[in-house]
């Protein structure tokens, strides 16, 4: 082998080359960002359009549909989602992954510009944002104190928010539950009517006052003077002195018809921490920055700011995602170290020589450290996926070195010098080791090149393994033979002492195992078809276990935190919603496992974040505690509870189904039927429907004929009603450097009862003086219609949808889907134009299985091509490929025994097996072919290969198995998500190792006989011609 010969001839060159890789790796490690998951670019564009006071139906017809139609014309659009609320519509455009997010955003902006004239004139400027997974807050804070929320809000605005925004790496700071000062001119409807005034007159009068307007400048020969005309109000009492209108030459002032109030802008949400009102801050990092580092800077800044705040006011860290990331990364590094140690001890157990063990062991740290250099070049980060790839590759990294060092020792024991043994031992095994490494690459390269969102997610996993095994191959062909030639000798370790006696006992046991294996192999070769049938029966038997296994997208994990959605009955105001949330918090605070609660509340729902003590400090799991909470909260009337569990990837429910159609009434009937089915499925919990009846609604239907006769327009009616009920900003009040909105509206007491509408008067024409000719009651030109509409309208791909969602308790996602879909077919036939489809994790799971299936096929195909190239044969690789189904046996049994589902993670473990299990078969067949090339009879060559390669095969397999044991034990935070990969891999390695030693030689002889018969038949045909 060129590399091994070069390293033996030029040891300094080989040493400095490896050292250079190590130095580059260490330097790269210091600069790698740390995140929980790979940073991905999703081409999602969100468009938010606000129209104050508009109903969801109005927003849908006048805004959402037109926006969807415009966006749908853009090239590359995959799906369009819209969520319509009262006064707002948010449309998400999902583009194909090939589309650049920046280009997509520009296309959306251009399309919106082209339809701007078709949208209502009073909408606010559309807000267009690109979706970035890093937009999720990394740290949430709560500002608490024994002062009012307004005072806390002022501190947040002037002191806290400003300082947090200056932290390097912080992208934005979003404030929740704050209060804004606002000056209210509260109209008295009775006084307004008594004076015969209209809101339009008052607004017009106010627009001419409280102003500061540049008047120009005056210049002389020596200087220039700037002039300003100012009539700004200096204090609140001054607003009462502003003219409102005049009647019969008498001036009417604001104080005559309204009360001036130093108030608070109407809130749409509140924040609560530990049962008390607070001001919350959600901090988002800049894209591409280090989550852990930024979170640490934020917490340091919080300590500094706390020292500057008034007594009794404090900032509390409510949620810190970096804690999970740090803990998860530390656990993966711990399993990496523990797995490496177990793998090294395995090598020592077999080799019984510390020098050879240490030489082989150097492959692990060298490969891992050098891989960091490749990660930096590829702009990867240290995250769960890349570190999990390294921790699961521990056995792989030492595998090549084990095979090489064991073969060198074998040549050393033949009487060769260390230099000769290193050169010839490496050369003899070089081609086989190269082939085994490239079969691993053949498996993981397709994983790293998968398309779609799943492909982006696993890119770092696949390529990290590829980089690591390539470096380990380089180390095995350079550093291992170099060190072996200098430091190995034929001296056996002493059998004295406890360790020596244990190693001697283990060696005797292995010799006995080798003898039993030799006998079993001999019997199998005598009864080849029986052996093959037995192996096939075991394989088919394992496949029969699959229907009894669950399937899921991502394994559930106990991260010690979750969120709870508390849905309220329609019609609650914000104050009532806060009181209901307070009852929920009182119940949560009775649980000793819960240490923190943080709630954000609006009139429709409250989202309560729940933080628990570490799972090692409580007897119950997160899901068990959640089940108890769910049960206890049923005692509170008028609410519906749903739990959202953090998977580390997202925080959402376990399943969702999408019901689509156009007729909302018919969809509601289907949704009720489907919800009834779902609620009767054992294990389905937190069942909810996205359709929520809206607040009681009063539609003022204009009597067009009467209104036209009286000269009252619909627009004037709508504008008047908005001013009276919602309010109109008529100016600003300046106090020092601060500016506050001045809002004109009805006083609170006259905005609470529908009966008050009868007291509202409208002008019927205008006189010469600008005053109304006459005033008519509102009910003369309008008819109130009472109704209840949807509070939220969901749309998907330009049609309405209702989403049914929920969680699972003791039931896998695959089992649940099968039960539900079967019952829908039997009990709920859908009319034409309506369809029900899986969304959420079920939809993603289907995509995952398809992507993984393609990666599996590509991996198997490339393995065959590599083996065919190595053996210069299309038949010999088939005997090695038979090791693949033998691995499936153990993978299925391993998952079943450990209680793991077929999931995204376990499928990666199964794919990983495809590269691992062929390694042992390659070693057997390669040695067999070499022996036959030397003239050894086939049966004897197989026996020699089995005897010679048994030790390295058992060493590498045991090292790989023990290297994954720490991952399989799932002891750390988030470890439950990684464990199924190890369960599948360990189970597959055990069965494939044991069965490969028997079945592959049998298959080899059968295929060899087939080749010989084919050749013999050709000779007979050629002879007869």
pLDDT tens-digit map of 718-748 = 888 888 888 888 888 888 778 899 999 999 8
Domain containing 910 equals 513-544+873-1016
Asked whether the beta carbons of 989 and 960 are under 8 A apart, the reply is yes
672 and 753 fall within a common domain: no
Question: For residue 661, what is the domain's CATH number?
Answer: 3.30.70.1430
Q: Is 514 exposed, middle or buried (0-12, 13-18, 19+ CB in 10 A)?
A: middle
Q: Which helix (H) or strand (E) holds 132?
A: none
Residue at 46 is within a domain = no
Write out the E strands in 235-330.
243-247, 250-253, 258-264, 270-273, 276-285, 314-320
Tell me what pLDDT residue 633 has: 92
657 and 608 fall within a common domain: yes
Q: What is the 3-state secondary structure (H, E, C) of 879-915?
A: HHHCHHHHHHHHHHHHHHHHCCCECHHHHHHHHHHHH
311 and 169 fall within a common domain: yes
803 and 821 fall within a common domain: yes
Would you place residue 1018 in the very low, low, confident or very high pLDDT band (cuts 50, 70, 90)? low
440 and 399 fall within a common domain: yes
b/e per residue 368-400 (b: at least 16 CB within 10 A):
bbbbbbbbbeeebbbbbbbbbbbbbbbbbbbbb
pLDDT tens-digit map of 72-129 = 999 889 899 999 988 899 999 988 877 888 888 899 999 999 998 899 888 888 999 8
Residue at 111 is within a domain = no
Percent of the chain residues past pLDDT 70, beyond the cut: 95
Residue at 74 is within a domain = no
What's the whole-model pTM score?
A: 0.79
Question: For residue 902, what is the domain's CATH number?
Answer: 1.20.1640.10
Counting the structural domains of the chain, the total is: 5
Would you place residue 274 in the very low, low, confident or very high pLDDT band (cuts 50, 70, 90)? very high
Question: For residue 244, what is the domain's CATH number?
Answer: 3.30.2090.10
540 and 463 fall within a common domain: no
Residue at 340 is within a domain = no
Residue at 259 is within a domain = yes
Q: What is the spatial distance between Cα 886 and Cα 1002, in angstroms, rounded to a whole number?
A: 14
pLDDT tens-digit map of 915-942 = 788 888 888 888 898 899 888 999 999 9
393 and 533 fall within a common domain: no
* pLDDT at residue 494 is higher than 60: no
159 and 203 fall within a common domain: no
317 and 426 fall within a common domain: no
379 and 453 fall within a common domain: yes
- What mean pLDDT is predicted for residues 573-577? 90
Residue at a domain's end among 279, 301, 332: 332
* pLDDT at residue 180 is higher than 70: yes
Residue at 56 is within a domain = no
CA atoms within 13 A on the CB side of 112: 22
688 and 820 fall within a common domain: yes
Going by their DSSP bridges, the two strands 761-763 and 775-777 should be labelled as antiparallel
Residue at 831 is within a domain = yes
708 and 766 fall within a common domain: yes
Question: For residue 320, what is the domain's CATH number?
Answer: 3.30.70.1320
Residue at 443 is within a domain = yes
- What mean pLDDT is predicted for residues 180-189? 92
């Amino acid at each position: 082998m060129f590399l091994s010969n070069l390293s033996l001839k030029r040891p300094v060159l080989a040493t400095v080359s490896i050292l250079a890789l190590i130095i580059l790796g260490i330097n790269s490690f210091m600069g790698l960002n740390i995140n929980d998951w790979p940073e991905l670019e999703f081409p999602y564009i969100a468009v938010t359009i606000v129209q104050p006071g508009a109903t969801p139906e109005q927003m849908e017809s006048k805004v959402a549909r037109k926006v969807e139609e415009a966006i749908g014309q853009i090239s590359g659009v995959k799906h369009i989602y819209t969520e319509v609320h009262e006064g707002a519509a948010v449309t998400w455009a999902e583009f194909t992954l090939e589309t650049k997010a920046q280009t997509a955003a520009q296309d959306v902006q251009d399309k919106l510009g082209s339809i701007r004239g078709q949208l209502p004139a009073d909408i606010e400027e559309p807000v267009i944002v690109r979706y970035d997974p890093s937009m999720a807050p990394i740290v949430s804070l709560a500002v608490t104190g024994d002062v009012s929320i307004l005072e806390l809000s002022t501190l947040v605005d002037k002191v806290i928010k400003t300082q947090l925004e200056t932290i390097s790496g912080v992208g934005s700071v979003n404030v929740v539950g704050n209060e804004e000062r606002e000056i209210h001119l509260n109209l008295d409807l009775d006084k307004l009517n008594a004076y015969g005034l209209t809101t339009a007159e008052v607004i017009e009068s106010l627009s001419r006052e409280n102003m500061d307007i540049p008047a120009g400048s005056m210049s002389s020969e020596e200087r220039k003077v700037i002039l300003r005309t100012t009539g700004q109000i200096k204090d609140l009492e001054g607003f009462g002195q502003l003219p409102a209108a005049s009647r019969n030459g008498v001036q009417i002032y604001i104080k005559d018809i309204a009360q001036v109030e130093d108030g608070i802008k109407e809130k749409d949400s509140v924040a609560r921490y530990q049962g008390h009102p607070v001001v919350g801050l959600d901090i988002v990092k800049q894209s591409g920055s280090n989550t852990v580092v930024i979170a640490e800077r934020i917490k340091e800044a919080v300590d500094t700011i706390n020292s500057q705040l008034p007594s009794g006011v404090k900032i509390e860290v409510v949620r810190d995602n970096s804690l999970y990331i740090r803990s998860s990364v530390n656990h993966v590094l711990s399993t990496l170290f523990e797995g490496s140690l177990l793998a090294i001890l395995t090598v020592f157990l077999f080799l019984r020589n510390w020098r050879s063990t240490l030489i082989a062991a150097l492959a692990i740290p060298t490969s891992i450290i050098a891989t960091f250099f490749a990660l930096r070049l590829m702009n990867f980060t240290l995250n769960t996926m890349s570190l999990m790839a390294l921790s699961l590759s521990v056995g792989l990294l030492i595998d090549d070195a084990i095979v090489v060092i064991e073969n060198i020792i074998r040549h050393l024991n033949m009487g060769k010098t260390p230099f000769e043994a290193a050169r010839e031992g490496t050369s003899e095994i070089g081609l086989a080791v190269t082939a085994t490494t490239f079969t691993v690459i053949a498996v993981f390269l397709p994983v790293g090149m998968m398309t779609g969102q799943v492909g982006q997610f696993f890119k770092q996993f696949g390529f990290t393994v590829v980089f690591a095994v390539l470096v380990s191959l380089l180390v095995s062909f350079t550093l291992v033979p170099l060190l072996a030639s200098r430091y190995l000798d034929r001296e056996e370790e002493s059998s004295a002492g406890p360790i020596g006696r244990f190693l001697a006992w283990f060696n005797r046991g292995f010799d006995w195992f080798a003898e039993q294996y030799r006998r079993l192999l001999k019997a199998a070769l005598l009864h080849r078809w029986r052996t093959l049938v037995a192996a096939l029966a075991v394989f088919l038997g394992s496949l029969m276990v699959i229907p009894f296994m669950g399937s899921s997208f991502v394994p559930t994990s106990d991260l010690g935190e979750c969120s709870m959605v508390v849905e309220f009955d329609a019609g609650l105001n914000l104050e009532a919603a806060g009181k209901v949330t307070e009852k929920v918090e009182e119940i949560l605070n009775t649980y000793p496992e819960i240490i923190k609660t943080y709630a954000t509340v609006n009139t429709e729902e409250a989202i309560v974040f729940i933080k628990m003590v570490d799972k090692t400090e409580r007897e119950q799991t997160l899901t068990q505690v959640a089940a108890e909470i769910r049960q206890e909260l049923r005692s509170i009337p008028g609410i519906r509870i749903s739990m959202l569990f953090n998977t580390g990837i997202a925080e959402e429910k376990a399943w969702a189904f999408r019901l689509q159609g156009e007729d909302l009434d018919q969809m509601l009937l289907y949704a009720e039927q489907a919800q009834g089915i779902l609620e009767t499925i054992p294990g389905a919990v937190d069942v909810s429907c996205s359709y929520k009846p809206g607040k009681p609604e009063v539609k003022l239907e204009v009597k067009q004929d009467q209104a036209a006769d009286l000269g009252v327009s619909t627009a004037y009616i709508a504008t008047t009603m908005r001013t009276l009920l919602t309010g109109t900003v008529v100016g600003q009040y300046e106090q020092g450097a601060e500016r506050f909105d001045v809002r004109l509206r009805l006083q609170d007491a006259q905005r609470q009862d529908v009966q008050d509408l009868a007291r509202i008067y409208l002008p019927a024409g205008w006189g010469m003086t600008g005053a109304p000719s006459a005033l008519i009651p509102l009910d003369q030109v309008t008819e109130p219609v009472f109704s209840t509409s949807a509070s939220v309208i969901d749309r998907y791909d330009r049609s309405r949808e209702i989403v049914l969602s929920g969680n699972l308790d003791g039931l896998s996602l695959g089992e649940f889907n099968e039960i539900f879909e079967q019952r829908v077919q039997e009990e709920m036939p859908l009319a034409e134009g309506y369809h029900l489809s899986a969304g959420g994790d079920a939809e993603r799971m289907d995509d995952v299985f398809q992507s993984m299936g393609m990666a599996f096929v590509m991996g198997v195909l490339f393995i065959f091509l590599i083996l065919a190239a190595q053996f210069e044969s299309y038949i010999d690789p088939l005997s090695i490929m038979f090791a693949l189904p033998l691995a499936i046996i153990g993978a299925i049994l391993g998952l079943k025994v450990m209680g793991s589902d077929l999931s995204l993670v376990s499928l990666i473990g199964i794919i990983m097996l495809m590269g691992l299990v062929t390694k042992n078969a390659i070693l057997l067949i390669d040695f067999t072919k070499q022996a036959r090339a030397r003239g050894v009879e086939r049966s004897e060559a197989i026996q020699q290969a089995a005897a010679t390669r048994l030790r390295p095969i058992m060493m590498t397999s045991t090292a790989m198995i023990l290297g994954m044991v720490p991952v399989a034990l799932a002891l750390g935070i988030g470890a439950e998500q990684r464990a199924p990969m190890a369960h599948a891999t360990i189970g597959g390695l055990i069965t494939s190792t044991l069965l490969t030693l028997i079945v592959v030689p049998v298959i080899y002889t059968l295929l060899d006989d087939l080749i010989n018969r084919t050749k013999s038949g050709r000779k007979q045909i050629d002879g007869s011609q």
